[in-house]
Amino acid sequence: MDQRRAKGLVGQLMELALGADAGNKDQPDFLGLDVELKTIPLRRDGRPKESTYVCSISLPKMADREWEDSIVWRKLKRVCFVPIESERAIPLPDRRVGGGFIWSPTDDEVAALRADWERLAAMIARGQIDEITAHLGDVLQVRPKAPNAAAKRMTLDTDGAPRWANPRGFYLRARFTEQIVARALA
């Protein structure tokens, strides 16, 4: 199977298998439980292979939104993580699924997430969206999230002036999810 053409398939199969019901809305996957479902790709050594996508960014809404009301926090305060074997050489049907577990960030993790989020939100609010790179953030990072690099979406400046920007999304660094998985297995 061509893995290049099956990127989101694993996640969607899990949603189907576990009965997630939010569809492609900007809300937690399990509406009644307020729990977000995420798969984590693991290599043979049991460490995460990739960073984990959290959500897309609504540029205009970042400016006057507090951390407690942010989409990132709403999604991350309770997550059902499901580790999945993801070596590129293993065919999709042969991949093993690990035991899923419900996770909530510890106080330290919340503090780290919040610090990164507030710094990034401040940059967005100041109209520095094009200066944000994936280098920023200790645990949370901002990366392109678009069909291709040429895609632009209309957004609003802090002054209310329209401008074009590349769509972005929030991601959890692999080092962060590695700690989560390690703690869950301990």
Partner DNA sequence: GGCTGATCATTA
Partner DNA sequence: TAATGATCAGCC
As a whole number of angstroms, the distance between CA 108 and CA 55 comes to 21
What are the φ/ψ torsions at residue 139 (nearest 5 degrees)?
Answer: -125, -25
- Provide CB contacts within 8 A for 110, sequence distance 6+: none
- Of the residues 96, 126, 175, 183, which one makes contact with DNA according to CB under 7 A: 175
- Of the residues 93, 149, 159, 162, which one makes contact with DNA according to CB under 7 A: 149
Contact between 166 and DNA per CB under 7 A: yes
As a whole number of angstroms, the distance between CA 44 and CA 85 comes to 7
- Of the residues 134, 138, 158, 164, which one makes contact with DNA according to CB under 7 A: 134
Q: Are strands 162-165 and 153-156 parallel, antiparallel or unpaired?
A: antiparallel
Contact between 145 and DNA per CB under 7 A: yes
Contact between 9 and DNA per CB under 7 A: yes
- Of the residues 30, 35, 37, 121, which one makes contact with DNA according to CB under 7 A: 37
What is the x/- site pattern for DNA, positions 72-91, by CB under 7 A? Answer: ------------x-x-x---
